[in-house]
Structure 1
Amino acid sequence: MQDDALDFRLLNDFQRNFPLCPAPFGELAARLGVAEVAVLRMLETLRREGKISRVGAVFAPKRIGASTLAAMAVPHEALGSVAEAVNRFPEVNHNYEREHRYNLWFVVTAGSEGRLQAALGAIEQSAGYPILKLPLIQEYHIDLGFPLDGQAEKYQPQPRPFSPPTPLGELERRLVMALQEGLPLFIRPFQVLASRIGCDESEVLERIGRWIDEGVIKRFGVVVRHHELGFTANAMLVQDIPDDRVSELGATLAREPGVTLCYQRPRVHPDWPYNLFCMIHGQVRHEVEKKIVELRDRLNLTEYLHDTLFSLTRFKQTGARYA
């Protein structure tokens, strides 16, 4: 298999359903018909080039800690310095400029609600601007795993009712910390993790599998960086949907090809009247705009107040830090 075909297969086919076995890269190699060393070498190249951030777990929001989407309205001339101040906090894992009066958008994650609120207070004090806090109410689709070949996604998200955070024992807490960095690119990566946290390889595999079954881990596999793969026209569509329809329409939007995130967050009057958010990732802006118009028209959403916030600058993108 040529390198360009191998990197595409790794990026496209293994964003989820990654083999949970002692030698997962060997299993990938067998499926792809190449040597194990070729898989490891290609994954390291993709990581070095910034096309993937890691291979590993994507945890469901608020299942093992606390998190919120947050925004600030920052004067344009101060945006760079404020973004830099926000980025200094390890609790911040995504930070983007978007087209809106609220122009700085970031995600804050912590090990507990108390630590989250403390981090938000410290960020607000450091940045010098008030934070619009938009915690998750209901998720319909939060994954960011989607095909890179333009084909319709075979995976159909299923809405999950909110579940309280899962209490973690000391061993589990250490495993979460280890997984934050992604799998080590070695022949027996789970054995390496097990040695780091002080348990058996079988315990690591069993716990990860159980977390996937319980929905604590949303997916386990290659975590791609979409901007580096050409998905640079990324829009956040926000809408003001009547409370008695938001779950129905959220679930409908979540099933639409091209919608990569969909969730309900609170309105914050008078500044923020929107309660249904979805992300649409694309390669060309006018195609994303066309998709949004088509979606709103076909699903009879045109009567509802909406706004579209395209991403302009990516200031930070890392995995969530729970510990």
Structure 2
Amino acid sequence: MVISDADPVLLRLINGCQRGFPLLPRPFAALAAGMGQGWGEARLLAALQDAQAAGLLARVGAVFAPNTVGNSTLAAMAVPAERLEEVAAFVSRQREVNHNYQRDHHYNLWFVVAAASSAGVAAALSRIRLATGILSLDLPLLREYHIDLGFSFLAESAAAAEAPAAADDPGLSAGQRQRLLAALSPGLPLTERPYQALGAQCALSEAQTLAQIAHWRQQGVIRRFGMVVRHPELGYRANAMWVWRIDDDAERERVALALATEPAVTLCYERPPRPPDWPYQLFTMVHARDAQSLDAALADIRRRHGLERLPQAVLRSTRRYKQTGACYGYA
């Protein structure tokens, strides 16, 4: 399946439901009721299963705010070309790794490590170093300016999310919360009662599961709860990590705040430099539909904000080895 083959009604639903997915016992029945004649719960579930199998839909689930329920870091390795496939495969097999990309730079393998604690992240990085003999750059998040990977891939804009309703803390134990975090990682089961099925994986009732997810949303721990798409399959086939060295704190903040407002910029955050090999502190991700559009967007942003003279690098993504939901349930 490619995007042009998918049912336009289904695409509109996915596009508009990247946030604010229903917290109801039968959410797919509620969504199908608004899709028009011929749609029902069973048809919608089958269509979403097909979209997931085809790679258009990554999962239905949670995107957590960084370092709220666990710990994570961005890591990079300079891998010799003849070992890249071997090393990338090993990195992707690590359960703590949720994103793993090749980029066109000396540091050519970039991946995200997430775990329940900083010790869990450190253990995963140590395991990778011992197995590969290659030291990773460890680049934890210092400051977030803009993070939003909800892609409006249709001509119309995605529907705005409603503010989460107030939700009381259901009083789960730390162990119960960790089990739910682990169960949420691959996304909701595409079944009639997904919260019931999710809860059964971690000995929670449907009501407890719904209440904890609602509480996390209300707290802001869950940044986005909805349909998570795979942007290349939906038309965004070019992207680059655009990094900047700006040593002056005030100037770095000024540039970051300006870049965070750009529609093409989906991520903007500060991470520590690792001199002498990695002097950059400000990271942005830019997505576009093709390489030509990406180059045009970079040039336009650089020109309008007067950024030509700043030390910078553009690392284009050339291969996706792994893209899943982060799992903070691992110690």
Tell me the TM-score normalized by structure 1.
0.91
* Equivalent of residue 306 in structure 1, options 290, 297, 312: 312
The answer on whether the counterparts of 1:64 and 1:168 sit within 8 Å (CA) in structure 2 is no
* Equivalent of residue 10 in structure 1, options 13, 16, 33: 13
Aligned to 2:242: 237
| Deviation by residue 1:271-310 (Cα, 9 ceiling, x = unmatched) | 1111111111112111111111111221222231111111
**Are residues 83 and 195 of structure 1, via their aligned partners in 2, closer, same or farther at CA, if it must alter by over 3 Å?**
closer
1:53 aligns with 2:58: yes
Q: Distance in 2 between matches of 1:214 and 1:263?
A: 21
Deviation at 1:236, TM superposition (A): 0.8
State the one-letter code of the partner of 1:319.
G
Alignment RMSD, CA only?
2.0
1:216 aligns with 2:184: no
Aligned to 1:297: 303
State the one-letter code of the partner of 1:141.
H
Q: Distance in 2 between matches of 1:200 and 1:250?
A: 43
Q: Distance in 2 between matches of 1:81 and 1:49?
A: 26
Greater Cα offset, 100-109 or 173-182? 173-182
| Deviation by residue 1:155-182 (Cα, 9 ceiling, x = unmatched) | 69xxxxxxxxxx9712211211211121
**Are residues 20 and 252 of structure 1, via their aligned partners in 2, closer, same or farther at CA, if it must alter by over 3 Å?**
farther
Aligned residues: 312
Greater Cα offset, 242-251 or 38-47? 242-251
Partner-residue secondary structure (3-state), 1:245: helix
| Deviation by residue 1:168-208 (Cα, 9 ceiling, x = unmatched) | 71221121121112111111211222333233322221211
| Deviation by residue 1:5-27 (Cα, 9 ceiling, x = unmatched) | 13311321111111111111111
**Are residues 152 and 100 of structure 1, via their aligned partners in 2, closer, same or farther at CA, if it must alter by over 3 Å?**
farther
Deviation at 1:64, TM superposition (A): 1.1
Aligned to 2:78: 73
1:249 aligns with 2:252: no
| Deviation by residue 1:104-152 (Cα, 9 ceiling, x = unmatched) | 1111111111111111111111122111111101112223112002556
* Equivalent of residue 22 in structure 1, options 16, 20, 25: 25
Aligned to 1:160: none
Q: Distance in 2 between matches of 1:14 and 1:153?
A: 8
* Equivalent of residue 118 in structure 1, options 123, 126, 130: 123
Percent identity among equivalent residues?
47
| Deviation by residue 1:74-117 (Cα, 9 ceiling, x = unmatched) | 12122111212222211111111101111111111111111111
| Deviation by residue 1:38-62 (Cα, 9 ceiling, x = unmatched) | 2111110111111112111111221
**Are residues 150 and 78 of structure 1, via their aligned partners in 2, closer, same or farther at CA, if it must alter by over 3 Å?**
farther
1:36 aligns with 2:35: no
Q: Distance in 1 between matches of 2:251 and 2:10?
A: 42
Dislocated runs of 4+, deviation >3 Å: 150-156
| Deviation by residue 1:192-228 (Cα, 9 ceiling, x = unmatched) | 2233323332222121111112121110111111122
Aligned to 1:261: 267
The answer on whether the counterparts of 2:302 and 2:308 sit within 8 Å (CA) in structure 1 is yes
**Are residues 31 and 264 of structure 1, via their aligned partners in 2, closer, same or farther at CA, if it must alter by over 3 Å?**
same
The answer on whether the counterparts of 1:51 and 1:229 sit within 8 Å (CA) in structure 2 is yes
The answer on whether the counterparts of 1:153 and 1:257 sit within 8 Å (CA) in structure 2 is no
State the one-letter code of the partner of 1:28.
L
The answer on whether the counterparts of 1:86 and 1:127 sit within 8 Å (CA) in structure 2 is no
**Are residues 193 and 88 of structure 1, via their aligned partners in 2, closer, same or farther at CA, if it must alter by over 3 Å?**
closer
Deviation at 1:252, TM superposition (A): 2.8
State the one-letter code of the partner of 2:31.
L
Aligned to 2:198: 193
The answer on whether the counterparts of 2:142 and 2:271 sit within 8 Å (CA) in structure 1 is yes
Tell me the TM-score normalized by structure 2.
0.89
The answer on whether the counterparts of 2:66 and 2:72 sit within 8 Å (CA) in structure 1 is yes
What are the residue-to-residue correspondences of 1:72-111 with 2, within 5 Å? 72-111=77-116
The answer on whether the counterparts of 1:258 and 1:280 sit within 8 Å (CA) in structure 2 is yes
Greater Cα offset, 20-29 or 297-306? 297-306
Partner-residue secondary structure (3-state), 1:270: coil
The answer on whether the counterparts of 2:19 and 2:225 sit within 8 Å (CA) in structure 1 is yes
1:137 aligns with 2:113: no
Aligned to 2:289: 283
Aligned to 1:175: 180
